[in-house]
Amino acid sequence: MRSMLVVLSITLLVSAAHAGEILQAGAPFPAWELTDHTGAKVSSQAMAGKPYLLWFYPKAMTPGCTAEGQGLRDQAAAFQAQGVEILGVSFDTPSDNASFVRAEGFPFRLLSDRDRTLAIAVAAASDASQPVARRISYLVGPDGKVVKAYPQVAPATHAQDVLDDLAAKPLRGSSE
């Protein structure tokens, strides 16, 4: 019994140490595979060699998420000029995300993390019972490492905040 308690305690400590921690710049971004709003699979392996912004949003078609998505949509050409692909992630179904894409004219893919596996790994959720994702983002470099984490996102200014960071440290042609 005592050894079972020790194993359980160690397991809980390890889980607590990993759930909820924001990844730091330079850390490898976890491998992932999610379904987009069209039903297609999208993965970190398919994104290898390309920088991307992964923005977690709480719920499709809610005011804050819509404002954040519209800002990213309106700046999509600037992200494209930097070679950065925008990918949204929520716990919504692919069909809910498809409705969101159609309603807002988003030129980027919205991904469904229904089991919250990626969200838990990158601090967008504490556990699988969390009803909505935390509003956080990660800028991931072509090498698959975190360039910058955005643990506190202001929906109205997030797109410009990321573009300002890209202007200060462009990802294209960098020696990193």
Q: For residue 172, what pLDDT is reported? A: 60
pLDDT tens, residue by residue, 105-153? 999 999 999 999 999 999 999 999 999 999 999 999 999 999 999 999 9
Q: Which long-range contacts (CB under 8 A, 24 or more apart) does 30-35 make?
A: 30/118, 30/121, 30/122, 32/117, 32/118, 32/121, 34/89, 34/111, 34/112, 34/113, 34/118, 35/94, 35/111, 35/112
Contact 22, 123 (CB under 8 A): yes
Residue 21: its pLDDT value, please? 86
- Which positions are catalytic? 65
Say yes or no to pLDDT of 174 above 50: no
* pLDDT tens-digit readout, 63-93: 999 999 999 999 999 999 999 999 999 999 9
Query: Considering the entire predicted model, what is its pTM?
Result: 0.85
Tokens 């925008």 sit on residue:
86
Task: Identify the helix (H) or strand (E) that includes residue 18.
Answer: helix 2-18
Q: Looking at residue 171, what is its pLDDT?
A: 79
